[in-house]
Homo-oligomer: A and B are copies of this chain.
Amino acid sequence: MQKIDNKIDIQSQRDYRNVLIDKVGVKNVKYPIVVEDRSNKFQYTVADIDIFVDLPCEYRGTHMSRFLDVLNSYHKETLIDNLEPFLREVKKQLNSKKAYVKIRFPYFIEKTAPISKIKSLLDYDCVFEASLSENFVDKKHDSIKYEEDAKFEFILGVTVPITTLCPCSKEISDFGAHNQRSYVSVKVIYNDFIWIEELVDIVEKTASCEIYPLLKRPDEKYVTEKAFNNPQFAEDIVREVTVRFLEDKRIEWFCVESENIESIHNHNAYACVTKRNINSY
């Protein structure tokens, strides 16, 4: 190994600018991951990962390679199922008070066509956002009860493609109604485990019609008529999801957005609701 022992560790130099850095780290690290799957126990996919920590005023730089070190150490033990110990290790290796990770990945769920019952795989873009922060209320115990004092937060997110059909267009037209692909993005903080599949189910129930990769003719007739019988604005979608999320006591907080790729415009229609759930456990 080449000698670099006489070189200064620039990152560890004392910094005198007195500026705490909120987040510093690595962005857009591509990584193969394994995710829990309700039907098949697990599935392989590929993630795009950001990992950050805070950096106290007194240090000049963070040590970027350590983020990858910790990521690599968790590879085989299934990163996704161990986000809290992963962040604890990041926090420890980077000597920080907070650690964050954001993991985006496509996830596949088997859909059954409504009439032909043919099965095919639909992709949903998911995101896991997790953070671990020291408990600043009770700082004196930091050194003693380190792990217990750190607060772990986890946000589960999924974007669900659906069909929406415009209620106004149906009402004012003598026949037909414009409809389009829409993307409904939901994020939740929960206090009891929720499957990606459960969030997808809730969103798909609010749609004018679900989307399927593979539809034979009788299926196409079914989805066309179902959507026509069930017109929904972007506003209706976010409200219906809101009503269902408020009824689920596991959900503490959520954000739901719906974006319609309007078939009659070259811009999109959008609606968004963010809420704490006062009904949660």
Contacts and interface: CB of A to CB of B under 8 A. Distances in A.
A10 B172 CA distance: 9
Interface in A2-53: 2, 4, 7-11, 15, 17, 19-32, 43-46, 50, 52
Nearest to A182: B263
Please report whether the interface of chain A is mostly helix, strand, loop or mixed according to DSSP: mixed
17 contacts: A1-B115, A2-B218, A10-B168, A22-B272, A23-B271, A27-B270, A31-B108, A32-B44, A45-B46, A161-B266, A173-B224, A174-B221, A174-B225, A178-B224, A178-B227, A213-B267, A261-B261
A277 to B, nearest CB: 12
Contacts of A1: 115-116, 218
B173 A221 contact: yes
| Chain A interface residue number, banded | 35 or more
Given A10-B167, A180-B263, A220-B169, A45 B32 contact: yes
A4 B218 contact: yes
Given A172-B217, A179-B179, A221-B4, A212 B121 contact: no
Contacts of A156: none
A54 to B, nearest CB: 10
Q: Which 3 A-B pairs have the closest CB atoms?
A: A176-B228, A44-B44, A30-B123
A193 interface: no
Contacts of A52: 270, 272
Contacts of A227: 176, 178, 263
A269 interface: yes
Contact of A235 (B30, B55, B266, B273): B55
Given A8-B171, A46-B123, A163-B263, 4 more contacts: A1-B116, A7-B171, A25-B270, A168-B217
A4 B172 contact: yes
Interface stretch (A56-64, A90-98, A138-146): A56-64
A79 interface: no
B181 A261 contact: yes
Given A2-B115, A72-B120, A266-B211, A180 B181 contact: yes
Interface stretch (A81-89, A129-137, A195-203, A237-245): A237-245
A3 to B, nearest CB: 8
A205 interface: no
A223 interface: yes
B45 A268 contact: no
